[in-house]
Homo-oligomer: A and B are copies of this chain.
Amino acid sequence: MKSVGIIGANGYTGSELVRLLAFHPKVELQFLYSRSNSGIRISEIYPDLIEICEMTLTNKIEEVDILFLCLPHQESKNWLIENPLKEDVLVIDLGNDFRLESNFQDRNFIYGLPELFKNEMKSAKSIANPGCFATAIQLALLPLAKGKLLQTVYTTGITGSTGAGQSLQPTTHFSWRNDNVSAYKTLNHQHVDEILLMLNESNETEIELNFVPWRGDFARGIFTSSIIKCDLELEIIYAKYCDFYKDSPFVTISEKPIDMKQVVNTNRCAIHIEKNKDTIVVHSAIDNLLKGASGQAVQNMNIVMDWEENTGLQLKSIAF
């Protein structure tokens, strides 16, 4: 059994890690750190955790084998400065601090998209867990980028309210968001750089990504559609995708239409491709808190620790 600590355990991604790790057969939760809520049992904040995790949030840090950072963006660096760690602690950061700049202190953060860097992860001690939209869009486009087939991409994506976090905001007020759709950060989402960094590595020419994110009226899930000019036959494209993901247990390439809810509450990504004349559309769907955050973090931990990739991630879908 490896010991685990979670920094920022009372947020959505932190508590989702608790939900996953409480049933993970190879790890033991050692401490749940929260500055703002220390002294409170996590099951008082999230009553679904009653009798599943009755740990009390703490502001004391203990030695552990594995540490997950679930802090607001750009707070992980400060946290690591203020709380020096032994070098053999596996750190998995769910923020965006180390996605673009991978070197910090003596650590070299591997970008935690296992479909791309599974081998690099095996000897890693530091993982920068990808963003939720970044995961959904990269998985949709990577096989084309590897094939040097991308130039200009037009992507629309829709995300659930949990993507905006736990804090109360006008755009997460139920009365406003229910039955509503709206656009935000048009052509300007913070994940675009992260997406392009990975895609451009393999593509021949510089890729242009025009990304329009929408807020959806559901709590969990991301659905994206990317429109791309491409001359290849659809069967050849499907073959490229199947080949690219042949060792990826959580990616489903589906020749039948997909819907977002088929992956909600699971760690899976579903991908479906359609073509008309010289235009293809790649659809992808994930659960933003699982494959888009905490589930992928557990998947990454499993890979680094050399456990079965799906350990603790055989999750029943909500389905309906």
Contact = CB atoms under 8 A, between A and B. Distances in A.
Interface of A: 12, 15-16, 19-20, 23, 44, 46-48, 50-51, 154, 156, 158, 160-162, 166, 168-170, 172-184, 186-188, 210, 212, 214, 216-221, 223, 225, 227, 249, 252, 254, 256-266, 270, 272, 274, 276, 279, 281, 283, 285, 314-320
A168 B164 CA distance: 14
A188 B257 CA distance: 14
A173 to B, nearest CB: 6
Contacts of A285: 181
A171 B12 CA distance: 16
Given A161-B178, A168-B173, A183-B225, 12 more contacts: A20-B316, A48-B263, A48-B266, A158-B214, A160-B175, A178-B179, A178-B218, A179-B221, A179-B318, A183-B274, A214-B225, A220-B320
A173 B175 contact: no
Nearest to A20: B316
Contacts of A225: 156, 183, 186, 212, 214
Contact of A187 (B169, B270, B274): B274
Contacts of A221: 179, 181
B180 A259 contact: yes
Contacts of A219: 174-175, 178-179, 320
Determine which residue in A168, A180, A220 has the highest number of CB atoms from chain B within 10 A of its CB, and name it. Answer: A180
A176 B227 contact: no
Q: 3 closest Cβ contacts across the A-B interface?
A: A168-B168, A156-B156, A154-B154
A158 B223 CA distance: 12
Given A187-B281, A218-B217, A320 B175 contact: yes
Contact of A169 (B168, B186, B261, B274): B168
Contacts of A276: 186-188
A272 B51 CA distance: 15
Given A47-B254, A178-B218, A254-B47, A170 B168 contact: yes
A164 to B, nearest CB: 8
Contact of A265 (B161, B262, B281, B316): B316
Contact of A161 (B20, B175, B186, B257): B175
Contact of A279 (B187, B316, B317): B187
